[in-house]
Amino acid sequence: MNIVITGATKGIGRAIVEAFAVQGARILVCSRTLEDLHQLKLAVEAAHPQSEVLFCAADLSVKEEVRQFADFVHAEVDVLDVLVNNTGVFKPGDVIDEADTMLEDLMKTNVYSAYYLTKYLLALLLKNKKGHIFNICSVASILAYPDGGSYSITKFALLGFSKVLREELKEKGVKVTSVLPGITWSDAWKGATLPHDRLLLASDVAKVILNAYQLSDTAVVEEILLRPQLGDL
């Protein structure tokens, strides 16, 4: 099994890497920091010697680097089973107050990265007519909230992208699943005093993604909505 995961060194991305490593997958990953990628490879391959991690440093907010990462994937594999578009960034703000460049900057990371990478890798996904694309959206894709601003706009757009892909690819054998997690524990929350049970575990998000992937060819989970048991913060 060959799987591409973006934003793979922390949080939900890292948890997805771990879940598929247990399955013996060949995992191709990227993030902006080369050292983080190197440490990820060492840790995952030590814990799961049946798996292999291949990495390429790339800032996917830059279209040219999306292409470079896609070229790296094409050079390493002939067919792709899973693509997880996980790269994203959150910046709080209100539309009326935030910088004029906020929407443009967040669109590059949260939407354009997924759009271009999917286009560049689609031939590999279509090859066996069994590929699966997971786009990591957010509850912010369906719910506007204070301080959401341009971030929420981009997440609405990513969900729309997923819906379009689903319609375009369903007759071609490629599945598309939109994943909408609520607030999830990651390095961004280190040192926070929030109660442990008010945030999702990244490992739970990864588990439902793996389960959705393991369904038969005749079924697809179109959307996965996860929230903390006690509700959104």
Distance (Å) of CA 11 to CA 97, 133, 158, 175: 29, 19, 19, 24
Give residue 185's pLDDT: 79
Q: Which residues of the chain have pLDDT under 70?
A: 187-192
**In a 3-state reduction of DSSP, which class is residue 225?**
strand
- The reported pTM is 0.95
Expressed as residue numbers, the domain containing 76 is 2-226
β-bridge mates for residue 6, sequence order: 30
Give residue 187's pLDDT: 67
User: Are β-strands 175-181 and 223-226 bridged in parallel, bridged antiparallel, or unpaired?
Assistant: parallel
Q: Is residue 19 included in any domain, yes or no?
A: yes
Tens-place pLDDT, residues 164-183: 999 999 999 999 999 999 98
Q: Is residue 232 included in any domain, yes or no?
A: no
- Both tokens of 46, joined, read 């030590």
Q: Is residue 26 included in any domain, yes or no?
A: yes
> Which H helix or E strand runs over 176?
strand 175-181
| Number of domains making up the chain | 1
Tens-place pLDDT, residues 23-32: 999 999 999 9
Q: Is residue 11 included in any domain, yes or no?
A: yes
Give residue 233's pLDDT: 75
Give residue 90's pLDDT: 87
Distance from CA of residue 58 to its chain's centroid?
15
110: Cβ–Cβ under 8 A, 6 or more apart, which residues? 87, 88, 89, 151, 154, 155, 157, 158
Q: Is residue 189 included in any domain, yes or no?
A: yes
- Which letter does DSSP use for residue 162 in this model? H
- HSE-CB for 129 with a 13 A CA cutoff: 6
Q: Is residue 231 included in any domain, yes or no?
A: no
Give residue 35's pLDDT: 95
Q: Is residue 101 included in any domain, yes or no?
A: yes
Q: Is residue 32 included in any domain, yes or no?
A: yes
Q: Specify whether the CB–CB gap between 110 and 151 falls below 8 A.
A: yes
Domain holding 131: CATH number?
3.40.50.720
